Structure 1
Amino acid sequence: MVTLLLDSTQLEVVLSPIERAATFHKKSLLIARDTITKVQLTDDAWTWLRGVPNPGTHIPGILAAGSWKSAGTVEFVLIRRRRPSVVIDLEGDEQYGRLILTTSHGLALTQALRLDVSSEPADVEEIVLTSPTPVNAGRRRPVIRPRPA
């Protein structure tokens, strides 16, 4: 599973040695934070997969990893089985138009992107857990109770 590190300027997708081999990448992905336009959570990342691996690894239903080309766009994909995933749309990135990643830290990523973070990279889970303000702070819903008869 990928590790997501976030600082004030960029998102770093840290790949393990096995993930680097499967995706044909020599190092981690660095994505400028201002190129991230949308982050979506999904339970089935396979529905988002378009195109063909170039270069990449594809074992249907088990693993899709690497760069995927489709209709003039390139996506970075790292999907494992049917696990929770995150789809990150990018605009203005030099290399990719979208990232599709299997990770259980998708919710933490969406929350961390809303916060002001330091200039030092930190794991998105740690950012959310140590944030000084509650991420889900908002208006509380009133409790609706039935009237007595």
Structure 2
Amino acid sequence: MVTLLLDQTQLEVVLSPIERAATFHRENLRIERDTIVKVQLTGDAWTWLRGVPGPGTHIPGVLAAGTWKAAATTDFALIRRRRPSVVIDLEGDETYQRLILTTRHGLALTQALRLEVSEEAADVVEIASTAPIPVQKGGKRPVIRPRPA
């Protein structure tokens, strides 16, 4: 799973050595924050792929890693099996129009993008965990009850 770091100006997708080999990228992805126009959570990232892989690794239903090219778009994908994922649409980025990433931290990313963050890059999970808890009208905190078994 990729690690997502966020600061005031950019989102950094930190790739492990294995992910770098599979995606044919030597460095982490750095995306300017102002190019992010939409973030969507999905349970099946495979439906978001468009075009053909190149360069990258593609094992249908198991792994899609690297650059995907279509007629007028270039996307970056790092998808593993059918796990929770995030789709990030970009506008104005020099390289990609969309990022499709398997990560269990998609919700934390969406929350962190709405917050003011420091100049230092931090993990989106840490940023989201420090966010204030929303308060309902009347000054009461929301009641969270466990689901019945």
TM-score normalised by L of structure 1:
0.90
Deviation, structure 1 residue 71 = 1.4
Deviation, structure 1 residue 57 = 0.6
Q: Which runs of 4+ in 1 moved over 2 A?
A: 136-140
Q: Distance in 1 between matches of 2:32 and 2:112?
A: 15
Structure 1 residues 138, 46: CA separation in 2 closer, same or farther (over 3 Å shift)?
farther
**The residue matched to 2:34 in structure 1 has which SS?**
helix
In structure 1, stretches of 5+ residues that fail to align are 141-149
Partner residue in 2 for 1:144: none
Partner residue in 2 for 1:124: 124
For this pair of structures, how many residues does the alignment match? 138
Q: Distance in 2 between matches of 1:59 and 1:74?
A: 19
- Structure showing greater Rg: 1
Partner residue in 2 for 1:94: 94
Partner residue in 1 for 2:143: none
Q: Please give the residue correspondences for 1:1-149 in structure 2 after superposition, counting only pairs within 5 Å.
A: 1-131=1-131, 133-134=132-133, 136-137=134-135
Between the aligned residues of both structures, percent identity stands at: 76
Deviation, structure 1 residue 137 = 4.5
Give the residue type in structure 1 aligned to 2:14.
V
Q: Distance in 1 between matches of 2:33 and 2:46?
A: 25
Provide, for residues 60-89 of structure 1, a one-character-per-residue CA deviation record: whole Å limited to 9, x for no partner: 000000000011110000000000000000
Structure 1 residues 8, 70: CA separation in 2 closer, same or farther (over 3 Å shift)?
same
In structure 2, stretches of 5+ residues that fail to align are 139-149
Deviation, structure 1 residue 44 = 0.2
Provide, for residues 27-71 of structure 1, a one-character-per-residue CA deviation record: whole Å limited to 9, x for no partner: 100000000000000000000011111101100000000000011
**The residue matched to 1:55 in structure 2 has which SS?**
strand
Q: Distance in 2 between matches of 1:18 and 1:95?
A: 22
